[in-house]
Amino acid sequence: MLQLFNELREITFLSVVVRMLLAFLCGGVIGIERSYKNRPAGFRTHILICIGATVASMTGLYLYLNAHLPTDISRLGAQVVSGLGFIGAGTIIVTRDRNIKGLTTAAGLWASGIIGLAIGAGYYEGGVIATLLVLITEIFIARLETRMTYSSDLRLSVRYHVKTALDQVMRYCKDKKFVIRNLQVTSDAETPPTYTAVVTLRARKKVNRAEFEAHVKSIDGVLELHEVI
């Protein structure tokens, strides 16, 4: 089977068609998964990046092998890799609760571009195998990762009138193995003053939320507790 690939490694019209179609297919199957999950960069974006990288790789080979120009065949590919960083950065966003989203999509775009470079250079085996591994990572490993994550971030608003109440709440959170990701405290102009703490927590292990919230409400000085959406 590898001998079939060997016949297509030269820059010919047939090999160009095969490489472009293979880039279209590989970029498309990765992009379909991203589109299905409604990510910023989807089907068309991955196809365009993969095809563009393939053309860049083939152009470098053509200039060196066919046009016989004194050029570095890897230079265009290097520029593609650096350019992918700007495109990938556009898919990464930071939410209001300081969660980072889009990293997987950015990594997929980068991988799609590298796959295009491999296909354009005639490294068909590497491009196809990499495409399969990217799909396995984005589909099946994502499910495993979801099972490994105990819960999403919990954002709570705690209203209290005794300053030591917040210390007890934080101590209880640490006892329950919560990671305190963010804490904001404000006070009002009432007399005596009351305070509102908005705390973002991430669980390291499974926690009974009802039991956790009931205990926080029972702490002396806590007036109100509710989850911030």
Q: What are the tens digits of pLDDT across the range 168-177?
A: 999 988 888 8
pLDDT (mean) for 179-200: 85
Determine the distance from the C-alpha atom of residue 215 to the mean position of all C-alpha atoms in its chain, rounded to a whole number: 35
pLDDT of residue 116: 92
Q: What is the distance between the alpha carbons of residues 170 and 34, in angstroms, rounded to a whole number?
A: 38
The model's pLDDT over 76-106, given as tens digits with 9 standing for 90+, comes to 788 888 888 777 777 777 666 556 677 888 8
Using DSSP's 3-state secondary structure scheme, residue 127 falls into helix
pLDDT at 97: 54
- The CATH code of the domain at 154-227 is 3.30.70.260
Strand 195-203 with 154-160, pairing: antiparallel
pLDDT at 152: 63
Question: Which band of pLDDT confidence, cut at 50, 70 and 90, is reported for residue 145?
Answer: low
The CA distance from 128 to 213, in Å, is 50
What does pTM read for this prediction? 0.61
Q: How confident is the model at residue 40 (pLDDT cuts 50, 70, 90)?
A: low
Helices (H), the chain: 2-6, 13-36, 43-61, 75-89, 103-120, 124-136, 142-148, 163-175, 209-218
Rounded to whole angstroms, the Cα distance separating 210 from 186 reads: 25
Q: Residue 39's Cα: distance from chain center in Å?
A: 10
Overall average pLDDT of the 10-29 stretch: 88
Distance between CA 156 and CA 227 in Å, rounded? 4
Neighbours of 77 (CB within 10 A): 22
pLDDT at 148 over 60: no
Domain boundaries, the chain: 2-148, 154-227
